[in-house]
Amino acid sequence: MNIIMFIVDALRPDHLSANGYARATSPNMDRLAEEGTSFSNAYCPFPWTNSSILSAFTGVYPHNHGVRLVSNNKFNESVTTLPEILKSHGFRNAYLDVDVLSEPAMKKGFQEFNPLRWKIENKIKRSIYKIFNPKNFLGLTEQHTGIAIRWIKKHSGDKFFLCHHPIDLHWPYWPPKPYDHMFDSGYKGSHDFNTLAGGKLARGDVLFGHVKFQKEEMEHAIAHYDGAIKYVDTQIGRILDTLKEIGLEDETLVILTSDHGENFGEHDFYFQHAASLYEPSIRIPLIFKHPRLVPKGKIIKQRVQNIDIMPTIMDMLNVPLIDRIDGISLLPLLKGETLKCREFIFAESLEEHFKGHKRIFFPGIKGKWRTMIIGDWKIIYIPHPQNDIFELYNLKDDPDEKNNLISKEKEIASEMKKRILEFLKQQSNEGDADLSSMDDKSKKLLRELGYME
């Protein structure tokens, strides 16, 4: 069995047409849902790329694998990654993205991780592309998909694992033509989302709602984001068609997911994801497709996390897990069997290093938000020097988290506080990113992606 995992950066599941979205953003991803099984309540454990993907690869929460900060991380070397296990069982592994990931632990187990020939090709094409598209530094997924297709054909006789990570949905939302105006051809305002609302803004002012955007500006930003979905979806379709053409469709497990979601003004968070833990940040799509192992057209509503991906793959391959992990195999659910609901969903935010976050009160790990979901109840914990802040929501009755019940549902609030604080006792609260030690290239990239002022 071969494995292809699409990790579409910053993809909100509620923007897929298969999930009822009004725009036709995702015909090929919809095809995966129709031919496979979709988990409609899937979550990431950390709304930031490196930490979330490593959780998908290891089956453990970030506080157990160790990558919890923008920099200055120490990966837990006792943790084994999915690519390492697959490599030991004869798989050829490759990871392909736009070369934005610098976390060394991401490369463990991959024989090819954006190898030099891909980087050279990427640099040449990117330089040419920027001449004609100076605002767009991301829209190279078409070229990367061509590389992926050639790699699949080259290794069609091997067992392989390909992780394809398109990043075009990430801010600053600049898909290539014609996708940039596919959903708002009549817009006449600024196309730079840091100059909306009348002038050049600090990134923190944009992220945390210090300015108010006009309705047409927000609609334009979302239209660009949706255009990026359609662009990436087209490239996913090329790979799916290739599998069919070369006779590997029935021999390949296809997984579609994301590393995190994205905010478009919910709770006054704009054009970002890492600084909060409301549903738009941590909800992700999760689809499995395999003709023999996965039923067609099934939707599973049970709450799951991306830490469940790794043990599910191992279960499908009949490979026993040696390490203790936090995730559980979803194969019983895929088979239609009953599975005890996981005890809880847990997530933590990124540490904050922007000026202007109104609700981060400590530096580093100590100031992170945390959330826990048990059943339909969700608690958010925000550390504060005087009185810690808690928010409580019933996701069944209030999926948009508009009604904080922390003062009304006192018994439930007390139990949820107890559960999350007990869980946090198992984690280290020490550590902070050391941005001063970062090289200029990494800082430049973080600024381009909107993670630094």
253 and 370 housed in the same domain: no
264 and 393 housed in the same domain: no
| End residue of a domain, out of 310, 343, 376 | 343
8 and 122 housed in the same domain: yes
Give the Cα separation of 173 and 176 in Å (integer).
Answer: 10
The residue among 4, 3, 7, 6 whose CA lies nearest residue 258 is: 7
Average pLDDT for residues 296-305, to the nearest whole number? 96
Q: Is residue 65 part of a domain?
A: yes
pLDDT score recorded for residue 275: 83
Q: Is residue 125 part of a domain?
A: yes
63 and 189 housed in the same domain: yes
Q: Is residue 17 part of a domain?
A: yes
Contact, 4 vs 266, CB < 8 A?
Answer: no
Average pLDDT for residues 273-287, to the nearest whole number? 95
Instruction: Point out the least confidently predicted range of 67-71, 356-360, 422-426.
Output: 356-360
- In 2-149, which ranges are E strands? 2-7, 37-39, 42-43, 92-96, 112-113
pLDDT at residue 24 is higher than 90: yes
pLDDT band at 283 (very low <50, low <70, confident <90, very high): very high
Rounded to the nearest 10 degrees, how much is the dihedral formed by the CA atoms of 265, 267, 268, 271? -40
Average pLDDT for residues 237-244, to the nearest whole number? 98
Q: Is residue 451 part of a domain?
A: no
Annotate 352-376 with b (16+ C-beta within 10 A) or e (fewer). Answer: bbbebbebbbbebbebbbbbbbbee
What pLDDT digit, counting tens, does each position of 81-90 carry?
A: 999 999 999 9
CB atoms inside a 10 Å sphere around CB 440: 7
pLDDT band at 443 (very low <50, low <70, confident <90, very high): low
Give the Cα separation of 227 and 210 in Å (integer).
Answer: 27
Cα 224 to Cα 143, 211, 228, distances in angstroms: 20, 20, 6
331 and 370 housed in the same domain: no
335 and 397 housed in the same domain: no
Give the Cα separation of 302 and 194 in Å (integer).
Answer: 38
What pLDDT digit, counting tens, does each position of 144-161 carry?
A: 899 899 999 999 999 999
**Strand 270-272 vs strand 370-374: parallel, antiparallel, or unpaired?**
unpaired
Give the Cα separation of 160 and 366 in Å (integer).
Answer: 40
**More confident call, 115 vs 292:** 292
Residue 390's DSSP bridge partners are: 381
**HEC string for 324-346:** CCCCCCCHHHHCCCCCCCCCCEE
369 and 333 housed in the same domain: no
pLDDT at residue 437 is higher than 70: no
Radius of gyration for the chain, computed over Cα atoms and rounded to the nearest angstrom: 21
What pLDDT digit, counting tens, does each position of 380-403 carry?
A: 999 999 999 999 999 999 999 999
72 and 209 housed in the same domain: yes
Average pLDDT for residues 62-90, to the nearest whole number? 89
Domain residue limits at 75: 2-343
The residue among 367, 369, 365, 371 whose CA lies nearest residue 345 is: 371
pLDDT at residue 346 is higher than 90: yes
pLDDT score recorded for residue 116: 44
What pLDDT digit, counting tens, does each position of 157-203 carry?
A: 999 999 999 988 988 788 888 998 899 877 776 666 655 555 566 66
The residue among 94, 75, 31 whose CA lies nearest residue 244 is: 31
79 and 171 housed in the same domain: yes
pLDDT at residue 356 is higher than 50: yes
CATH of the domain at 100: 3.40.720.10
CB atoms inside a 10 Å sphere around CB 322: 8
Average pLDDT for residues 256-267, to the nearest whole number? 95
Q: pLDDT averaged over the chain? A: 86
Instruction: Point out the least confidently predicted range of 136-140, 233-237, 362-366, 372-376.
Output: 136-140
Please give the single-letter amino acid code of residue 296: K
19 and 113 housed in the same domain: yes
Please give the single-letter amino acid code of residue 380: I
383 and 245 housed in the same domain: no
pLDDT score recorded for residue 112: 86
pLDDT band at 137 (very low <50, low <70, confident <90, very high): very low
CATH of the domain at 385: 3.30.1120.10
What whole-number percentage of the chain has pLDDT above 70? 80
251 and 212 housed in the same domain: yes
Instruction: Point out the least confidently predicted range of 92-101, 106-115, 306-315.
Output: 92-101
Q: Is residue 137 part of a domain?
A: yes
pLDDT score recorded for residue 134: 47
Instruction: Point out the least confidently predicted range of 24-28, 33-37, 69-73, 233-237.
Output: 69-73
Q: Is residue 354 part of a domain?
A: no
Q: Name the domain count of the chain.
A: 2
pLDDT band at 335 (very low <50, low <70, confident <90, very high): very high
Q: Is residue 351 part of a domain?
A: no
Instruction: Point out the least confidently predicted range of 61-65, 276-280, 319-323, 433-437.
Output: 433-437
pLDDT at residue 218 is higher than 70: yes
Contact, 287 vs 304, CB < 8 A?
Answer: no
Contact, 54 vs 103, CB < 8 A?
Answer: yes
Q: Is residue 140 part of a domain?
A: yes
pLDDT score recorded for residue 70: 67
206 burial (CB, 10 Å; 0-12 / 13-18 / 19+) is buried
Q: Sheet containing 92-96: which strands, arranged edge to edge?
A: 112-113, 92-96, 160-164, 2-7, 252-257, 286-289, 37-39, 298-300
